[in-house]
Amino acid sequence: MEIFAVIMAGGIGSRFWPRSKEKTPKQLLRIFGENTMIQDTVNRLTDIVRKENIFIVTNKIQRGEILNQLKDIPAENIIEEPFGRNTAACVGLASIIISHKVKDAVVIVLPADHIISNKELFGKTILNAVDFAFNSKGLVTIGIKPTRPETGYGYIQINETEISENISKVLTFAEKPNYATALRFLESGDFFWNSGMFIWRVDIILEEIKSFMPDLYEGLEKIRNEINSPKYNETLTNVYGMLRSVSIDYGIMEKSNKVFLTKGEFSWSDVGSWEEVYQLSPKNDDGNAINGNVFLDGTSDSFIYSPEKFTAAIGIENLIVINTKDALLICRRDNSQDVKKVVDFLKINKLNEHL
């Protein structure tokens, strides 16, 4: 059994503006600790997957910095998408490239920007799922037991009777709920946060793409026929130009009858907003999380990031303040999901110097 990993690293992290930009998105930043998020993601795999079997899916803009940060990953393993088409296309492209090498490889698919604190428990969970996926031909997703009625995550409901060690059949997927529904999910005990991490055999995921997303499969076959040929980049661009933007969850996981869940009992966060960074950060007695040269007076329960400029905050509470060399963000903590609206505004008004 040959194990591969695919790290999805093409996003721009719009909720992390102004630190996250197109060339240096969230996954290429040091949010916590000494390493960037993508470096931590690769490091979590070192005892599971050989470096030559780790693939990164990204884009042309970010390729150079990824190569700079991941010097142990072969350059040919950095897969460039000509443009973003969501996770189904991303998974499909990586799958045909891996299938070209090993037809029944087990693939671990991970976003590049998660925080997971217990590497040993993470590795044990992954390896158990790898064995199950290889032998059962099932599609395994990692679910996280909810600790609060979170409205920013999708949920997965399982049959609580395990069919194998820490493996349960998935009953249904649920979109991001309102607060009342999230509270009901939390109290039910059989709903888990959808972590966006997957384990499956490459031949099986391609079969499911063929069944449920035939247009994507047809395009992937055109790309597969040109792997290692001079026409590869032209074919890739032409095919991607015709693809719909669909997530792997919606395109495959919600439709397949081969979906299973393994419980991730390690500490996990997808760090989806500045509010999440605040929650994970150490705080002073006033509930403030501070990074940089900051003066505070009468300020509480706020996150202030200002490593390059002096910032003073007086008489404020429950705010996010991100002060970089070329932009300033101020928002209420409970509006941190709306930061992506700033990025949308900058794109519409072609203020590309701030993207």
> Residue 37 maps to which CATH number?
3.90.550.10
Same domain, 236 and 170: yes
End-of-domain residue from the set 231, 247, 269: 269
Cis peptide before 25 (omega within 30 of 0): no
pLDDT tens string 153-178: 899 999 988 999 999 999 999 988 99
User: Which residue from 203, 204, 217 is spatially nearest to 246, judged by alpha carbons?
Assistant: 217
Same domain, 78 and 133: yes
Same domain, 122 and 160: yes
Same domain, 264 and 303: no
End-of-domain residue from the set 269, 298, 322: 269
Q: Both tokens of residue 225? A: 């026929």
Same domain, 94 and 69: yes
Residue 61 and residue 200: Cα distance in Å, rounded? 29
pLDDT of 44 reads 96
pLDDT of 355 reads 86
pLDDT of 67 reads 96
End-to-end CA distance of the chain, in Å?
43
Which range of residues forms the domain containing residue 137?
3-269
Place of tokens 């393993």: 77
pLDDT of 160 reads 85
Same domain, 145 and 258: yes
Residue 93 and residue 57: Cα distance in Å, rounded? 9
Same domain, 256 and 308: no
Residues of the chain with pLDDT under 70: none
Q: What is the pTM of this model?
A: 0.93
End-of-domain residue from the set 269, 288, 320: 269
Same domain, 202 and 336: no
Quote the crossing angle between the two packed helices 232-242 and 214-224, to the nearest 10°: 170
Same domain, 262 and 282: no
Same domain, 19 and 85: yes
Same domain, 246 and 297: no
Half-sphere exposure of 19 (CA within 13 A, CB side): 22
Same domain, 128 and 56: yes
- The CB-based long-range contact list for 158-165 (8 Å cut-off, 24+ gap) reads 158/190, 158/191, 158/192, 158/261, 159/190, 160/189, 160/190, 163/260, 164/132, 164/136, 165/128
Domain count, the chain: 2
pLDDT of 10 reads 85
pLDDT of 117 reads 87
Distances (CA, A) of 350 to 328, 341, 344: 18, 14, 10
